[in-house]
Amino acid sequence: MIITGKYPNLRLRRNRKTDWSRRLTQENSLSPNDLILPIFIVDGKKKKQIIKNMPEVYRYSIDNIPLILDKALKYKIPMVAIFPYTNSKLKNNYGSEALNENNLVCRAIRYIKKRYKNKIGIMCDVALDPYTSHGHDGLIKKNEILNDETVEVLVNQSLLQAEMGCDVIAPSDMMDGRIGKIRKALDKKNYKNVQILSYAVKYASSFYGPFREAVGSKSMLKGDKKTYQMDYRNSLEALREVSLDIKEGADMVMVKPGLPYLDVIKMVKENFKIPVFAYQVSGEYSLLMNGIKTGIISENCIIESLTSFKRAGASAIVTYYADKVAKLLK
């Protein structure tokens, strides 16, 4: 970039002198339209469970979903993402509960659609880790995560969610080829308008711990996920992942985690001009919340962190702050 002019004729601080001037010249802004609210659900009645390592985030029984969803609607959040806490008794090596039409996610979709119609979008995670006894996203044979066999299960999971009324299918499993298979199956069953948000760039990260506690897979997980999730040292690989998923039919792509990967968000946006979503994951949320609660940093860090996603090129952000921030921005 070439800047014409020089000091003292050019004083960049002039535009920063007043609040109204800073607002007029801001390059990026945040609104409720940029936010997606994750909701954890649990079996039972009248439940609102504390999640130990995620302050002010709760698990809700389906009948208590309005406690959080009414706020999302009031503050004009466009979409919620549903994540289940599956009872360990329902888990097995094959993740069979994922294909049960009366599992938590399916019942939650039906409940939301009946109560709220199409007033808010529903995004559903497609992966097996909430349902497997080993905590992995796919099927295992001889300590290997099976790709093609897992994809077949994910296709059926996607079809079931679409049948229940899910608006956005979001495969987060990182199996090769699953987007094309899911898109083909959805179209064949006449779910042509069901959107696919691909977790195309999902890193094997240390920032997922509180989420795994929230869905009950943390204690189940055996080993790590490095054979299918991306290596955090890589960025060009992200472009290959996104390129393949776009060709296979992804409508939108996700980069996860968020703050440590702003460079990747920017790279994907500049190269593909497709809606790029970012996930401010549980570890990021908990670190900020603990900093706020101990007084190490101010609450202003919330808006600052979310705006950084917009600056990097994110079209939308999945964040546990969505309801709080939307209320402030409304």
Number of neighbouring beta carbons within 10 Å of residue 281: 25
* pLDDT at position 134: 95
Q: Is the pLDDT of residue 3 over 80?
A: no
- Average pLDDT of the residues of the chain: 96
Percentage of residues of the chain with pLDDT beyond 70: 100
Counting the structural domains of the chain, the total is 1
Residues 110-139 have pLDDT tens digits of: 999 999 999 999 999 999 999 999 999 999
Residues 141-166 have pLDDT tens digits of: 999 999 999 999 999 999 999 999 99
Decide if 3 is inside a domain.
no
Residue 327 contacts by C-beta under 8 Å, 6 or more apart in sequence?
71, 75
pLDDT band at 220 (very low <50, low <70, confident <90, very high): confident
Decide if 161 is inside a domain.
yes
Can you give the length of the chain in residues?
A: 330
The token pair at 81 is 């993402």
Residues 21-50 have pLDDT tens digits of: 999 999 999 999 999 999 999 999 999 999
Decide if 58 is inside a domain.
yes
- Does residue 259 contact residue 306 with C-beta atoms inside 8 Å? no
Domain that holds residue 87: 30-329
Decide if 247 is inside a domain.
yes
Decide if 310 is inside a domain.
yes
Which residues are designated catalytic? 202, 256
The token pair at 257 is 């985690």
Decide if 207 is inside a domain.
yes
Residues 167-205 have pLDDT tens digits of: 999 999 999 999 999 999 999 999 999 999 999 999 999
Q: Is the pLDDT of residue 218 over 90?
A: no
Q: Is the pLDDT of residue 4 over 90?
A: no
Decide if 110 is inside a domain.
yes
Decide if 76 is inside a domain.
yes
Say what the alpha-carbon torsion angle 302, 195, 208, 307 is, to the nearest 10 degrees: -20
Which residues sit opposite 86 in a β-bridge? Answer: none
Q: Which of 251, 269, 256 has the alpha carbon at shortest distance from 312?
A: 269
The CATH number given to whatever domain includes residue 243 is 3.20.20.70
DSSP state string for 70-87: HHHHHTT--EEEEEEE--
